[in-house]
Amino acid sequence: MAPRVGRPAPEIRRVGPATEPITETLVLSDLHLGLRTARPAAVLATLERWRFRRLVLLGDIFHDNGFEGLCDEAWRLIRRLGAIARDGDAELVWLAGNHDRHLGPAIRDLFGIEVGESHAWRSGGRRLVAVHGDGFDPTLPRRSSLARLIGLGYGWCMRRLSREGEWPRRLDRWWTRRCGLHGLVAAGAAAWAAARDADLVICGHTHAPLARCFDDLRPDRAPVTYVNAGSWVERRASFLAVDPTGVRLVNAL
C-alpha cells in the first residue's frame, strides 16, 4: 500500500525566480558540492541576489569527500558562506545530511559554527523546525558507515561512469518513486514535528519540492504542514523563503 502523503498545503506558495528577493529566512538543501550535477554558481548568484536575516543549510551541502576535488565555483561559494558566518550580517544555520554528517568537525573548523541535526524557530506565530529528513528514510542503512559507503559509490558512478551524471540520477529518481519515498519522509517528518509541537516541518533529502498537510496528528489543533525544499542537482532547482507572511517555494534561476 502506498504511504499516506497528506493533502496539498495551499498555504505554501509556489513562485518563480522573479519573486521579490527579500525574506526573513532562506532555506537551501542538497547542494551536493563535488558532483558533476552540482550548481555552485547558481547557488552563489541566489545568495548575492537575496536579502535575508537567516540562512539555513539543510544538509548534504557536500556530497562525499568534502573539500577534495571542488571546482572554482564551489570554492567561491564556500568563501561566501564563510563571509556570512564571519561578518554576522545574517545567522548561518548548518544542519547535517546523510552525505556530509561526517564533515561536521571540518565545517566547524572552517566556518566557526557547529553543525546541528535540527533547528527550530518561530515566525508569524508558528513554530517551525528544519531537519534534513534522512532519519525518516527507511531505505537507508542505520549504520552511518554503510550509508556513507553507498554515497561514495553513487559519487564514483557520477564521476567515472557518466559524462553528465544523468543515468545515476535517473536510477535514483526511479528508486525514490518505487519506494514511495516522498510519502514516507513526509509522513515521518510530520509525525516527528507533531511530537515536538511544531506547526511546520522543513526537509530536504528526497530532492523533490513537496508541500502537504497532515490533519490528524494533533487532536483539536491546527494541521502539521510538511514542505520539502527540493535540491540543486535536479533539472529544476528550488529553495524556500520563509517569513511571517508564510513560506514561498521558489524556483531558482
- The Cα 19–Cα 3 span in angstroms is 33
Q: What's the full length of the chain, in residues?
A: 253
- Pairing state between β 7-8 and 12-15: unpaired
pLDDT over 80 at 249, yes or no: yes
Compute the C-alpha angle 180/58/82, nearest 5°.
155
- The Cα 80–Cα 85 span in angstroms is 9
Residue (of 238, 249, 244, 250) closest to 121 by Cα position: 244
Reported as a single tens digit per residue, the pLDDT across 17-75 is 999 999 999 999 999 999 888 999 999 999 999 999 999 999 999 988 767 779 999 99
Asked if residues 193 and 201 have their Cβ atoms less than 8 Å apart, the reply is yes
Please state the pTM of the whole predicted model: 0.90
The residue ranges of every structural domain in the chain are 7-251
- Pairing state between β 126-131 and 118-123: antiparallel
CATH architecture entry for 7-251 = 4-Layer Sandwich (3.60)
Reported as a single tens digit per residue, the pLDDT across 198-231 is 999 999 999 999 999 999 898 888 899 999 999 9
Find the mean pLDDT for residues 150-155.
63
What is the band of 184 on the pLDDT scale with cuts at 50, 70, 90? very high
Confidence (pLDDT) at 172 = 66
Asked if residues 165 and 173 have their Cβ atoms less than 8 Å apart, the reply is no
